[in-house]
Structure 1
Amino acid sequence: MDIVRSVFEHRGFELSYLDSAPGDGHRPVVLLLHGFPDTGDMWQLQIEALHGAGYRCLAPDTLGCGHSEIAPRVRDYNAVKIAGDHVALLDHLDITRAHVVGHDWGGMIAWFFAAYFPQRINRLVLLSMGHPTAYARAGFRQKQLGWYTFFFQVRGLAEWMLGGDGPISLRHVFASHPNMDEVMARLRQPGRLKAALNIYRAAVVPVLLSKQPSVYANTLAIWSDADRFLTEDQLTNSRRFVEADWVYKRLEGGHWMSLEQPERINELIIGHLKGEHSSGPADAFRD
């Protein structure tokens, strides 16, 4: 397997993605969506396992992240628009439907993808992140753990402090990230940290102030008990927004479970995509 990086254009921006099987129209497709402060490269170990299990993997760099172009306006990073970018990637590759896997803020985008583009999704996998309405309604503990999302709204000050070396720096706040040196080097490139923060700035209205639709895809939700950023209830309470099979798995470990325990995560994802965890049959691949 040779993972190929390619680009396509949508909304006037060049967007980058990894593809494990370019031009292969026979494999079912898995769309892997990263969160903050990551890129599509975080999914390397999942791509290897999924490709070996017969799937074609696409791992896009969200607008402004990784190798994708930086957008100039906050509103360009609207969560529904970003979900639409991923639909446009499927269109670009003539792919009708895909399984969708999302971690952290990529999980939020996965919920939006499933809610607003239900005809494009087969099965859904969420790592850590609950449905946007369940997240917004989560209790005080979630507000405590997610304090940084409010700090991210303070334009200019947030960039200055997060890019430094103090107690509110990225290195301090997200110290549990397994690849923090790479994260710091990447986000210190001109415009990259601001772009990553703009994803949160554009999400205040669609996530915190608006009730979002339910989803109709068979769903696997996974949470790890040492997660420092997301509470268990914001994920388990997401069950009420899934009008399909729902499977919940609670693991030991930290927030970046796909990097910290890839074999277990790969096993769970592949099992779900093959229909091993749910009461219904596996979704047929349609292209």
Structure 2
Amino acid sequence: MSYPLEQRLVPTNGLRLHVAQSGPESGPLVVLLHGFPEGWYSWRYQIGALASAGYRVWAPDQRGYNLSDKPRRVRDYTIDALAADVLGLLDAAGAKTAVVVGHDWGAAVAWHLAANYPERIRRAAVLNVPHPQVLAQALRHNPRQLAKSWYMLFFQLPWLPEGLARLRGWWAARQAMLRTSAKGVFSPEDLDDYSIGWAQPRAMRSMINWYRAAARYASRLGKTGRVRVPLHIIWGENDAFLEPELARASLQYCEAGRLTYLPASHWVQHEMPEEVNELLLGFMR
């Protein structure tokens, strides 16, 4: 059965998030958390499949993105605030627990939620981001990973990253997605849709503030400990940003973890949507 896609502004944690919703109202809640530099649209291939399987799906634009509220301070984008936004969505949905699925930065939020709020997170799936402690260790001791993460250092500069991003109709952001994905994964129309979100007032600065907050308040990310709830790592092994061994190293922080490598890039749910959907549905059952 197919369900319509609804779009609503949902109050949570003192702000409003724009949320794409689908699926039966009484279905178990699944929250899909996007990464940088996307938005709810990054889950367009997953929302319908999960809704048709009987799940109530919420895919928010996380704070700072697209049509959601955009607090001005860097400290408004700490991992604690990002996690509190998601817990507020569960409350707004009337759900005591949920399955959370995250990609890229959304996966970092999912790791944090699964480790620190097991009473609210029933299961978690993370796509192409390792456990925060594994990434921190790699940045200190793995020269290959440090080289791949050069942009994280660049994003610490004030004003310049977001200023350059605006040049030539968001050319740099478009090229970054095209060059790190398989040919044809992102159509010109897809990139136009993303560009609308990037052009929202204060959006690009807010999106980059996630990286600034991670560096300035690194100890908060470090509070992500062991994960006791079932967790599935899905990893595109041709990731241009992250070394593939980080996925396997992350299993040491999971009491009930599993790992699946797929022959895809960082943008795994775009490139192999059917395989990702099958893995998610099997895991959630």
Normalized per residue, which structure has more helix?
2
Structure 2 match to 1:278: none
CA offsets 1:40-77 (integer angstroms, 9 cap, x no match): 12112211111111111111110011210111111111
> C-alpha root-mean-square deviation of aligned residues, in Å?
2.0
8 Å contact from structure 1 (residues 133, 207) kept in 2: no
8 Å contact from structure 2 (residues 8, 19) kept in 1: yes
Deviation at 1:230, TM superposition (A): 1.4
For residue 202 of structure 1, give the secondary structure of its aligned residue in structure 2. helix
Aligned equivalents of 1:202 and 1:13: distance in 2?
Answer: 18
Structure 2 match to 1:237: 249
Amino acid at match of 2:203: R
8 Å contact from structure 1 (residues 167, 173) kept in 2: no
Amino acid at match of 2:77: Y
Match status 1:157 vs 2:191: no
TM-score normalised by length of structure 1: 0.88
Aligned equivalents of 1:207 and 1:175: distance in 2?
Answer: 33
Aligned equivalents of 2:247 and 2:171: distance in 1?
Answer: 26
Structure 1 match to 2:8: 6
Structure 1 residue runs without a partner (length 5+): 275-287
Structure 2 match to 1:173: 176
8 Å contact from structure 2 (residues 65, 197) kept in 1: no
Structure 2 residue runs without a partner (length 5+): none
Number of residue-to-residue matches in the alignment = 271
Aligned equivalents of 1:2 and 1:34: distance in 2?
Answer: 20
8 Å contact from structure 1 (residues 34, 40) kept in 2: yes
Match status 1:96 vs 2:96: yes
Aligned equivalents of 1:39 and 1:168: distance in 2?
Answer: 18
CA offsets 1:67-120 (integer angstroms, 9 cap, x no match): 101111111111121111010011112100011110011000101111221110
8 Å contact from structure 1 (residues 79, 206) kept in 2: no
Aligned equivalents of 2:213 and 2:11: distance in 1?
Answer: 21
Quickly say closer, same or farther: Cα 1:226–1:166, change in 2 above 3 A.
farther
Quickly say closer, same or farther: Cα 1:10–1:185, change in 2 above 3 A.
closer
Structure 1 match to 2:237: 225
Quickly say closer, same or farther: Cα 1:184–1:167, change in 2 above 3 A.
closer
Structure 1 match to 2:206: 195
Aligned equivalents of 1:240 and 1:168: distance in 2?
Answer: 39
Alignment of 1:56-205 (within 5 A): 56-138=56-138, 139-165=142-168, 169-176=172-179, 178=186, 179-204=190-215, 205=217
8 Å contact from structure 1 (residues 40, 60) kept in 2: yes
1:255 to 258, 261, 266: 266
Amino acid at match of 2:87: V
Aligned equivalents of 1:200 and 1:63: distance in 2?
Answer: 13
Q: Percentage identity across aligned positions?
A: 35
Deviation at 1:168, TM superposition (A): 9.0
Aligned equivalents of 2:174 and 2:151: distance in 1?
Answer: 13
Match status 1:215 vs 2:227: yes
For residue 51 of structure 2, give the secondary structure of its aligned residue in structure 1. helix
TM-score normalised by length of structure 2: 0.89
Aligned equivalents of 1:192 and 1:20: distance in 2?
Answer: 25
Amino acid at match of 1:271: G
Aligned equivalents of 1:207 and 1:105: distance in 2?
Answer: 17
For residue 178 of structure 2, give the secondary structure of its aligned residue in structure 1. coil
For residue 203 of structure 1, give the secondary structure of its aligned residue in structure 2. helix
Aligned equivalents of 1:11 and 1:252: distance in 2?
Answer: 38
Deviation at 1:186, TM superposition (A): 2.6
Aligned equivalents of 1:198 and 1:126: distance in 2?
Answer: 22
Aligned equivalents of 2:14 and 2:124: distance in 1?
Answer: 28
8 Å contact from structure 1 (residues 165, 171) kept in 2: no
Q: Judge which range, 44-53 or 172-181, deviates more.
A: 172-181
CA offsets 1:259-282 (integer angstroms, 9 cap, x no match): 1111011011111111xxxxxxxx
Q: Judge which range, 178-187 or 76-85, deviates more.
A: 178-187
Query: Which structure 1 residue ranges, 4+ long, deviate > 6 Å from structure 2?
Result: none
